[in-house]
Amino acid sequence: MFSPLTPLDWKRRAIKYYPEKTAVIDGDKEFTYKEFGDRTDRLSAALLEAGIEQGDHVAVMLPNTHYMLECFYGICQLGAVMVPLNYRLTAKDLEYIINHSDAKMLIVDEEFTKPIEEIQNNLSLDEIIVVHVDGQETSLTGIEYENFLEKVPEDYKLPEVEFDENDLLTLNYTSGTTSNPPVHHQRQHLSEKHRIFLG
C-alpha cells in the first residue's frame, strides 16, 4: 500500500501522542502540540474563509516565530503553496516575487512592512495580513493576524484534502544574481523540511 509522506503526518502524530507536551517556545509564549495544532487549523480555516484554496499561493514574510511555523502548516495542509520572502530584499525584488509567484495573499510581520508600503499599490494581492509587533507601526492596509484567526466560527470544519507527496509545498526565490530572483520548487515529501520545522 502506498502512503504519501508529507510534513502533515509528523504534525498529526505529535498531536495524537503528545497533546499536552510543549511543542513551541517563542519568547514568553508556549504552546502544547494540541494548542499549536488548534492555531494551525484555525489559520487554515481563516484562509479558506478568505478564499484561499488548494493550489493557491500565499506569500509570507516573517522572522523565526510561532507565526512562521503556523503558516507553514496552516497553508500546506490546505494544499496551498507557501512563498517565503526574504525581508532583506529590496522593495523592487519583493514586488517582482509577489507578482511573479501569483500570490493571492501576503502575511507579513509589522517590522518588515516598510518595503511593502512602498509597493502596495503595485501588488496583485487579494488581502494582506499583518502580525502586530509591540513598538512598531505601519501604514499598510490589512487585517491583524490574531483578528484574522478570531473571525473563524467556533464550529469550523476543514475540508478533506488529498495530497500527493510530489505536490508543491513551497516556492522559494533566491537572490544575489544580476537579474530577477530565480524560483526553486520544493515538494511535500522533503524530509529536510521535517527536520527544520519539527527538530
Cα separation values, 53 from 24, 49, 50, 174, Å: 27, 10, 9, 26
* pLDDT value for 180: 67
Contact status, residue 55 vs residue 79, Cβ threshold 8 Å: yes
Half-sphere exposure of 71 (CA within 13 A, CB side): 29
Residues sharing a CB contact under 8 Å with residue 102, sequence separation 6 or more, in sequence order: 57, 124
The structural domain count of the chain equals 1
The verdict on residue 174 lying in a domain is yes
**Phi and psi based region of residue 191 (left: phi greater than 0; alpha: psi -120 to 50; beta: remaining):** alpha
* pLDDT value for 101: 94
| Domain that includes residue 41, residue range | 7-151+165-198
Instruction: Indicate which CATH number applies to the domain containing 64.
Output: 3.40.50.12780
Q: How far apart are CA 141 and CA 152, in angstroms?
A: 20
* pLDDT value for 189: 45
pTM (predicted TM-score): 0.86
* pLDDT value for 197: 36
Which strands, in side-by-side order, build the sheet including 127-131?
A: 143-144, 127-131, 103-109, 57-61, 81-84, 168-173, 183-187
The verdict on residue 193 lying in a domain is yes
Contact status, residue 42 vs residue 79, Cβ threshold 8 Å: no
* pLDDT value for 184: 55
The verdict on residue 107 lying in a domain is yes
The verdict on residue 157 lying in a domain is no
The verdict on residue 156 lying in a domain is no
* pLDDT value for 183: 59
Cα separation values, 100 from 42, 84, 93, 104, 162, Å: 28, 13, 10, 11, 27
* pLDDT value for 178: 54
The verdict on residue 120 lying in a domain is yes
* pLDDT value for 136: 85
* pLDDT value for 141: 85
pLDDT in tens, the chain (199 residues): 566 667 788 888 999 999 999 999 999 999 999 999 999 999 999 999 999 999 999 999 999 999 999 999 999 999 999 999 999 999 999 999 999 999 999 999 999 999 999 999 999 999 999 999 887 889 898 899 999 999 999 899 998 888 777 788 889 888 756 556 655 545 544 434 433 333 3
The verdict on residue 158 lying in a domain is no
* pLDDT value for 4: 66
The verdict on residue 90 lying in a domain is yes
